[in-house]
Amino acid sequence: CASQLSQWDALVDFGKSIENYEILLDSLWKLPDWAYLKDHVIPKAQVEETPKLRLVQSYFALHDRNSNGVGDAENTVGKGVDLALEQWWQLPEMSVHARVPLLQQFQQLVEVQESARIHVDIANGSKGTGNVAVGGLGNRYADLKDILETWRLRTPNEWDNMTVWYDMLQWRNEMYNVVIDAFKDFATSNSPLHHLGFRDKAWNVNKLA
């Protein structure tokens, strides 16, 4: 019930009290409490290998932004896709409804891959920015802009469970914060880029509401 109502604080408290790492892995990144996830959950968690586990590990790798963060995330999400495909082929041919949770996880896995591309595009675009004339950044960050536009067009179905919407939009919120941080100094030199993350984050919050 707490999960359906997005009561992540209550779930985290419960997960800590009984040391249930599966609950903690699923809930902590949504608060978000990345520090506790890093120090107390990821090193200790002994849970079944699932696409969801790989997904959370990918989220953490991208959030941590260490030198190998993007590479780690891409490797982990690749393993998540393999696990999801393995589960897919184990299902009977006629089980349409049984495939729905896996389809939802595939969408999340794809968006982690796109998130990694956003990180790469920001890193590549910022190289040599100082040599570009003011206002001459229009053609940079094309990959980033395409992905953000695609995210607006690609939303869950209206009849999908609220938790599906929450998981997807909550992670996108994390990436909008990355975009905002990357372009925070562009207020005068490139106003459209400066407002890019703010605009999409506002749309995201309203859509979830």
> pLDDT per residue over 26-57, tens digit each?
999 999 999 999 999 988 888 888 999 999 99
The whole model's pTM is what?
0.89
Cis peptide leading into residue 32 (ω within 30°): yes
What's residue 93's pLDDT?
A: 87
What's residue 69's pLDDT?
A: 80
Say how far apart CA 69 and CA 46 lie, in whole Å: 22
What's residue 135's pLDDT?
A: 46
> pLDDT per residue over 93-119, tens digit each?
888 899 999 999 999 999 999 999 999
What's residue 45's pLDDT?
A: 81
What's residue 134's pLDDT?
A: 43
Q: Please answer whether residues 165 and 208 qualify as being in contact, where contact means their C-beta atoms are separated by less than 8 angstroms.
A: yes
The residue ranges of the chain whose pLDDT is under 50 are 131-136
Q: Please answer whether residues 116 and 74 qualify as being in contact, where contact means their C-beta atoms are separated by less than 8 angstroms.
A: yes
